[in-house]
Amino acid sequence: MMAGLALGFCCWIRYTEFLWVVPLIWVVALQWWQGRRPWWECMMVLAAFSVPVGILAGIQWVAFGAPWRTGYAFCKEQTGFSWKYFIGNPGGIHPRQGNWQTVLEQFSNLGLFLLFPLAIAGLVRLFWVHWKPALMLALWVVPSATLYMFYYWAPTNINTTGYLRFFLDIFPALILAALWLLDQAMGQDKAATAIIVGLLTLLGGAYNLYTMAPRLLSQSAQKLNLVQAREVVKHDLPPDSVIFVDEGIGNYLNSVSRYRLYAAEMFSPNFFKWMQNASEQKGPHGLQKARSEAYMKLLGHKGPHGKLHARSAVQLRQMELKLIRRAWSQHRTVAFLLRRQMLPQLVPTGRNVKSLLLASWQSPMVHPWVNALWMNWFQGHGRVAQRRWQRMQWNWQRRNQWALMEIMPSRGNGP
């Protein structure tokens, strides 16, 4: 019963975890068929699975109007499954790699390095020896793996884990199949089995550590930069301040205090074009269509034929200045929190505006593609290579300098 309840709650993590019901039904039916459990105990397991699923369906009914409708429907991601994503279009005008190829590449690389071929072979071989547990493992693996091979979002970089996260729940089953095959191949020699399994674990762990350490360092640096930004803002600005901020940091600061936050890049014609592309997307998209259209109405104007067009850079700057004047009239502090190199482009200037640099800091960023061996090769030992290396390091550091700047009216009437 507890197993059914736990598996049902998996749907609260990701909706497609509902597919756990497929192997669960097989296991429950097998227990009843072999007389190991009475029928009412088997039904209790399925009923326990249904409890959290039913609660989730009720929440969705209230929130979205139907028990099967989710928040992904607003981005069309709920129905973002298609044969064209599975098969791909490598020879088209806009080439796209098929998801079947992406799955094979990423499973063999970061997913189950060295174990994936053994897992497939072990799962197939298990049907000839113990077909009942083999079917259970197959029902565990195949539905979920097949479903996400038809999904629209599948980054093809073999060093990314974004796509692999959809398959994490089937990794234990594949590992079990691989270990069973190794155990069968080694026979009764337990020492050899232990050595080989240990060697595979060591090689797989070392390879994944080598490939993922730069990415983990990059993620750690990003989180440290958020902490630094939070401490700077809390120290230098009152809680009701108006801050024009980089969107990534703004999402974090929104949960820190009662700041009034605006994405600084929003007041640019390029932002309107980005929203326009998102609204015209026919298929699934990560940004809600209604949200992109709302931004277009806010930042655009209607042309002769009623179509929305981007306002000019001057008009957008006037919108921004209007918000700044309103904040000043309410005696609020106005500040910009951006990469330092973006301040000249995004911070208003003029005779009636004065600025004060409150703080600046260097983000300890590590680019995710940094790889120890590759960087050692790139650094080189010649004079030209050393200069190239130093220039790249300087550019990278310059791009990751952050600053908090307050702007205030130099006269009583503001900018």
Give the tens place of pLDDT for each residue, 52-104: 999 999 999 999 999 989 888 888 888 889 998 999 887 666 667 899 999 99
Give the tens place of pLDDT for each residue, 217-253: 878 888 888 899 999 999 999 988 999 998 888 888 8
Q: How far is CA 97 from the centre of its chain?
A: 20
Of the ranges 73-82, 133-142, 252-261, 382-391, which one carries the lowest mean pLDDT score? Answer: 382-391
Return the pLDDT at 388.
Answer: 67
**Using H for helix, E for strand and C for coil, what is the string for the chain?**
CHHHHHHHHHHHCCHHHHHHHHHHHHHHHHHHHCCCCCHHHHHHHHHHHHHHHHHHHHHHHHHHCCCCCCHHHHHCCCCCECHHHHHCECCCCCCECCHHHHHHHHHHHHHCCCCHHHHHHHHHHHHHHCHHHHHHHHHHHHHHHHHHCCECCCCCCCCCCCCHHHHHHHHHHHHHHHHHHHHHHHCCCHHHHHHHHHHHHHHHHHHHHHHHHHHHHHHHHHHHHHHHHHHHHHHHCCCCCEEEECHHHHHHHCCCCCCEEEEHHHCCHHHHHHHHHHHCCCCCCCCCHHHHHHHHHHHEEECCCCCEEECCHHHHHHHHHHHHHHHHHCCCCEEEEEEHHHHHHHCCCCCCEEEEEEEEEECCCCCCCCCHHHHHHHHCCCHHHHHHHHHHHHHHHHHCEEEEEEEEECCCCCC
Return the pLDDT at 369.
Answer: 46
Q: pLDDT confidence of 411, banded at 50, 70, 90?
A: low
**Is the pLDDT confidence value at 167 over 90?**
yes
Return the pLDDT at 104.
Answer: 92
**Is the pLDDT confidence value at 379 over 80?**
no
Sketch the domain layout of the chain as residue ranges. Answer: 1-69, 213-365+400-409
**Is the pLDDT confidence value at 396 over 70?**
no
Return the pLDDT at 373.
Answer: 45
Return the pLDDT at 374.
Answer: 47
Return the pLDDT at 256.
Answer: 79
Q: How many CB atoms lie within 10 A of CB 78?
A: 16
Return the pLDDT at 37.
Answer: 81
Mean residue pLDDT of the chain comes to 85
159 or 35, higher pLDDT: 35
**Is the pLDDT confidence value at 386 over 80?**
no
Return the pLDDT at 39.
Answer: 82
pTM of the model: 0.81
